[in-house]
Structure 1
């Protein structure tokens, strides 16, 4: 019997990349949307047109949206308004990714937003006026809140490592169901700028547990597994933007620090 040779360095890197980029085929497709959209059922004519388009038309812009992430967003102007977001992302290059956001992971899910993700290198090129739209990601990663269901733990940690110190610009166009609030039947009103959680206690009780139960994930375990990523964390812009805006006690997450100098006590 021949003993398998260990993979060469380049082969290991290729395998890791494939694990990260592959769709999360084994992630539980159990998060059904809570909002029923207004409108009549599709007619037979519409279904026939869809079937023809599927066979004859290309979908080139959708190729590459193969990274699946699930996290939570508070709205920057209304931090108590919080929603779960299923991200389907395309890593355009090493410094830029674009994601389509849904309120679930089944065929019935509603698209309710978009997010662009940039590296700290690209963030450093932005003017100050633009930076106020971009939220930091270290709190989401180190807390274990941001997950990539369906891929091996080592591949997920490697993916999260590449997102350390990155930033996201997220707009939600549709309230399909905030925590404790019913969703709208249609996309109504102005787009909502979303932010990130940078302290323990900011996210509403029960949101994380409900997500973990639905997807079979364990946020506490992921937090422990990612503890070593703290050494990579740099101070980030926007960490303190929601500080003091919650009606409950909050606590700092180790490694998550605002880049602005702390105000000296009076």
Structure 2
């Protein structure tokens, strides 16, 4: 699933140039198969009937596809690639369903809500610890929109600058060669974002890039102009020092407290 054809066309029409041509999207199948028997014939018949007689209206509109990575806030070395299928509800709020792949057999393993800086600044202080900043993901080239032409992806990332996400993973479906659980187990896990180079596990980003034919270094270079839009964000330093590897600042990614800013109320 990519940005819907109508939406992609609209982006191209709104001044992104005549060279705006959608690119092919690479498949990324899930690595975990859920426990359970194959569907019985009567189950398939019920599904066919439901498809004809019932509406799936709440699912329509989840047509913005983003791919990125999440470390778990309480266990930063548990890291997952996340395929986001999002619905932009309004200019300041989006809601996303997360999967461990982008094929028909992908497993739903979480949810993410994305809000603008404006809405984040309305949150009470106690609530903000659940919302991770996005500038590091964008400026590093980690967050991508597979299948979109470069100009349209750049416009999308520009709109997400200074935004925040609240993400819960409810199923550990595997990472970095480690097998996932066959069914969702345990408590929901609050996920965070990578805000420094070196925080992501060696090999995790490279494997995604190879699978989806992504060039993170090139995207990082192409997004250098977005640094001018970057404001200090809450939560950039929340996982500082919690990774067993050397880390390095990402230009333009600054914590509010380090910048001497008082969080807005």
Normalized against structure 2, the TM-score is what? 0.90
Instruction: Give the 3-state SS of the residue equivalent to 1:132 in structure 2.
Output: helix
Deviations 1:67-121 (A, max 9, x none): 0000000000000000000000000000000000000000010000000000000
Check if 1:95 corresponds to 2:86. no
Aligned match of 1:28? 26
Q: Shift of the alpha carbon at 1:55?
A: 1.2
Distance (Å, rounded) in 2 between the aligned partners of 1:159 and 1:250: 27
Give yes or no for contact 1:174–1:191 (8 Å, CA) kept in 2.
Answer: yes
Give yes or no for contact 2:196–2:248 (8 Å, CA) kept in 1.
Answer: yes
Q: Shift of the alpha carbon at 1:32?
A: 1.2
Aligned match of 1:135? 132
Distance (Å, rounded) in 2 between the aligned partners of 1:16 and 1:187: 43
Answer with 1 or 2: which has the greater Rg.
1
Q: Shift of the alpha carbon at 1:57?
A: 0.8
Aligned counterparts, 1:1-266, within 5 A: 15-16=13-14, 26-29=24-27, 31-261=28-258
- Describe the shift of the 1:47–1:25 C-alpha distance in structure 2 as closer, same or farther (beyond 3 A): farther
- Describe the shift of the 1:194–1:13 C-alpha distance in structure 2 as closer, same or farther (beyond 3 A): closer
Q: Shift of the alpha carbon at 1:190?
A: 0.4
Segments of 5+ residues of structure 2 without an aligned counterpart are 1-8, 261-265
Distance (Å, rounded) in 1 between the aligned partners of 2:14 and 2:146: 16
Q: Shift of the alpha carbon at 1:13?
A: 5.7
Distance (Å, rounded) in 1 between the aligned partners of 2:46 and 2:136: 45
Normalized against structure 1, the TM-score is what? 0.89
Give yes or no for contact 1:142–1:223 (8 Å, CA) kept in 2.
Answer: yes
Aligned match of 1:4? none
Q: Shift of the alpha carbon at 1:15?
A: 2.4
Give yes or no for contact 1:16–1:155 (8 Å, CA) kept in 2.
Answer: no
- Describe the shift of the 1:144–1:96 C-alpha distance in structure 2 as closer, same or farther (beyond 3 A): same
Q: How many residue pairs were aligned?
A: 248
- Describe the shift of the 1:185–1:41 C-alpha distance in structure 2 as closer, same or farther (beyond 3 A): same
